[in-house]
């Protein structure tokens, strides 16, 4: 059951990454064609645009969701690669714990950074 | 390729009693028209190496006994013509990814254990009907088409020998057991998905398949285990998301003999022997 659950979330996380990377492409690299989320300046990485996006709650949520999806997708993929090397059951359990704790830690730290950046931008 | 006058077999020999590591042995024999690798091995055993061991039975690609690693590819020895190899040097080794019992005989028990664990048979609630049938389980030609190619599997182990995941991960069931599990999960007469899921949803399931596709390339019967595994992954993901509901196993229909014959259809002629 566990592997079925993890694989399904791995696939869903991949879809989430695809959607948000598409949004990233549209904002950052297709700005001439699409021109979204750059209200202050035509150039998407102009400081005023960065601050404007950071003020939007949508982007704070997007950063956190993307962070969670990318962490889960990447760490689960890494776990699969290591498991396929034929390691023992004890090492598998240890790796599960390390990756889960590391993933949660990185997520909390990244989410805090995204939230703080948003809060800071609203004070500017 | 034109037929060579002689063929050299480079054979991987291993005798566990000798406690020596496996070693190559070269034997050159005259080529005979239509010679297969299995024919060559039989000639070698009869004339040069009486202790050479391998498995074979039907000699026509049906039993799946003579899977071997021939010139770097898992193949059936009985189905492999010398001329199709394009060389007069034939390298023969036991199937990789299995322990060697002796010479060209791999230990296929892990494969068959994984196969048995996935219940490769029709599972239904109406046990009485299965053992004392009153009719036939109904199946349309379209439903048969969903499973037909997977039912051609002869369990030779060539797909297991070609699979890069089986090579490194002992927990992975492998392409043959998984494809056969899908063959029954996709069978309209079967109701055993929930029971098989107890194994498929764990690390023994299809999750480690990278879709390298080597299993499908290696299969001597044209089965596509890689496709079966991807279909199975989709089925299990949908099931987890609550988007898959196993259809009820097909109903029992009366035996053909009990159906009233149409008046305009004549009886079959009486047997002549």
Indicate the helix (H) or strand (E) that contains A99. Answer: helix A89-123
Q: Residue B258 pLDDT more than 70? A: no
Q: Write down the mean pLDDT value for chain B.
A: 93
Please check the confidence at residue A58 and state whether its pLDDT lies above 80.
yes
CA B100 and chain centroid, separation: 19
Supply the pTM of this predicted model: 0.87
Q: Note whether A4 contacts B236, CB cutoff 8 Å.
A: yes
Q: What is the CATH number of domain B6-106?
A: 3.10.20.30
- Domain B109-253 top-level CATH class: mainly alpha
Residue ranges matching CATH 1.10.1060.10 in chain B: 109-253
What pLDDT, in 10s, does the model give residues A78-89? 999 998 888 888
Residue of A nearest to B199 (CA): A1
Q: Which residues of A touch B168 (CB under 8 A)?
A: 84-86
B 221-240 residues inside an 8 A Cβ radius of A: 233, 236-237, 239-240
Partners of residue A80 in chain B, C-beta under 8 Å: 207-208
- Partner-chain contact B207 A7, CB within 8 Å: yes
CATH number of the domain enclosing A64: 1.20.1300
Query: Residue B241 is nearest to which of A3, A8, A84, comparing CB atoms?
Result: A8
Tracing tokens 């009719």 back to the chain, one arrives at: B135
Q: Is the pLDDT of residue A44 over 90?
A: no
**Closest C-alpha to B233, from B259, B241, B88:** B241
**pLDDT > 80? residue B256:** no
Predicted local distance difference test score (pLDDT) of residue A75 = 97
CA distance B30 to B162: 31
Mutation target among B167, B193, B201 for the A interface, most CBs of A within 10 A: B201
Compute CA distances B174 → A81, B66, B88, B171, B226, whole Å.
Answer: 16, 19, 33, 9, 10
User: What's the CA gap between B142 and A54, in Å, rounded?
Assistant: 55
Q: What is the pLDDT of residue B1?
A: 63
Q: What share of chain A is helix, strand, coil (3-state, %, to 5)?
A: 80, 0, 20
Residue range(s) defining the domain that contains residue A57: 2-123
| Inter-chain touch B240–A4, beta carbons under 8 Å | yes
B182 touches chain A (CB under 8 A): no
The size of the A-B interface in CB pairs under 8 A is 45
**DSSP string covering chain B, please?**
-PPPSEEEEEEEE--GGGTPPPEEEEEEEE--TT-BHHHHHHHHHHHT-TT------SSSSSS---EEEETTEEEEGGG-BTGGGTSSEEEEEPPTTS-EEETTEE--HHHHHHHHHT--S---S-HHHHHS-SEEE---HHHHHHHTGGGG----SHHHHH-HHHHH-TTS--HHHHHHHHHHHT-TT---HHHHHHHHTSTTSGGG-----HHHHH-TT---HHHHHHHHHHHHHHHHTT---PPPPPPEEE-GGGSPPPTTSPPPPPP--
- Please count the structural domains in chain A: 1
**pLDDT, tens digit, 9 for 90 and up, residues B77-121:** 999 999 999 999 999 999 999 999 999 999 999 999 999 999 999
Q: Token digits for B169?
A: 């991960």
- With 70 as the cut, is the pLDDT of residue B200 above it? yes
Q: Give the C-alpha separation, B136 to B255, whole Å.
A: 6
pLDDT exceeds 80 at position A30: yes
Residues A94-107 as b/e (b if ≥16 CB within 10 A, e otherwise) read eeeeebeeebeeeb
What is chain A's Cα-based Rg? Answer: 18
Between B168, B197, B207, which is nearest A86 by CB? B168
Look at residue A59 and tell me whether its pLDDT is greater than 70: yes
Mutation target among B166, B167, B199, B203 for the A interface, most CBs of A within 10 A: B203
pLDDT over 90 percentage in chain A: 66
Residue A41 has pLDDT above 80, yes or no: no
CA distance A112 to B94: 57
Calculate how close chain A gets to B7, using CA atoms only, in Å. 39
Mean pLDDT in chain A? Answer: 92
The alpha carbons of chain B give a radius of gyration, in whole angstroms, of 23
User: Is B145's pLDDT higher than 80?
Assistant: yes
- ipTM at complex level: 0.81
**Count of C-beta atoms within a 10 Å radius of residue B244:** 14
The number of beta carbons lying within 10 Å of the beta carbon of residue A28 is 12
Percent of chain B with pLDDT over 90: 80
Task: Identify the band that residue A56 occupies on the pLDDT scale cut at 50, 70 and 90.
Answer: very high
Chain-centre distance for alpha carbon B17: 30
Determine the 3-state secondary structure of A105 from DSSP.
helix
Q: Please give the Cα distance from B95 to B107 (Å, whole number).
A: 9
CA-nearest residue of chain A to B197? A1
B242 touches chain A (CB under 8 A): no
Contacts of B137 (CB under 8 A, 6+ apart): B122, B189, B249, B250, B251, B252, B253
Helix (H) or strand (E) holding A28: none
């Amino acid at each position: 059951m566990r592997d079925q659950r993890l694989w399904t979330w791995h696939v869903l996380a991949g879809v989430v990454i695809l959607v948000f990377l598409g949004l990233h492409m549209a904002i950052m690299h297709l700005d001439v064609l699409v021109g979204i989320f750059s209200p202050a300046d035509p150039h998407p990485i102009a400081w005023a645009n960065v601050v404007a996006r950071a003020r939007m709650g949508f982007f704070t949520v997007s950063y956190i969701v993307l962070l969670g999806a990318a962490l889960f997708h990447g760490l689960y993929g890494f776990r699969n690669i290591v498991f396929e090397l034929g390691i023992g059951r004890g090492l598998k359990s240890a790796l599960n714990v390390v990756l889960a704790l590391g993933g949660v830690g990185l997520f909390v730290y990244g989410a805090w950074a995204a939230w703080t950046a948003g809060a800071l931008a609203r004070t500017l | 390729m034109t037929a060579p006058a002689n063929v050299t077999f480079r054979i991987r020999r291993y005798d566990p009693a000798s406690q020596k590591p496996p070693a190559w042995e070269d034997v050159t024999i005259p080529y005979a028209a239509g010679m297969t690798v299995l024919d060559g091995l039989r000639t070698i055993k009869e004339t040069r190496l009486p202790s050479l061991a391998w498995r074979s039975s039907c000699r026509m690609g049906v039993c799946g006994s003579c899977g071997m690693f021939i010139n770097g590819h898992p193949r059936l020895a009985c189905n492999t013509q010398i001329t199709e190899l394009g060389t007069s040097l034939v390298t023969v080794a036991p199937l990789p990814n299995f322990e060697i019992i002796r010479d060209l005989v791999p230990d296929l028990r892990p494969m068959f254990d994984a196969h048995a664990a996935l219940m490769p048979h029709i599972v239904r609630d109406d046990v009485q009907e299965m053992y004392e049938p009153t009719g036939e389980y109904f199946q349309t030609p379209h439903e048969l088409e969903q499973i037909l190619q997977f039912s051609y599997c002869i369990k030779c182990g060539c797909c297991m020998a070609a699979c890069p995941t089986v090579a490194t991960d002992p927990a992975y069931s492998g392409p043959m057991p998984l494809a056969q599990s899908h063959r029954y999960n996709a069978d309209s007469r079967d109701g055993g998905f929930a029971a098989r899921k107890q194994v498929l949803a764990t690390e023994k399931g299809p999750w480690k398949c990278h879709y390298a596709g080597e299993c499908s390339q290696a299969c001597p019967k044209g089965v596509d285990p890689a496709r079966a595994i991807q279909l199975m992954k989709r089925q299990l993901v949908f099931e987890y998301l609550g988007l898959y509901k196993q259809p009820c196993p097909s109903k029992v229909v009366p035996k053909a003999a009990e159906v009233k014959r149409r008046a305009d259809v004549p009886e079959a002629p009486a047997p002549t022997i």
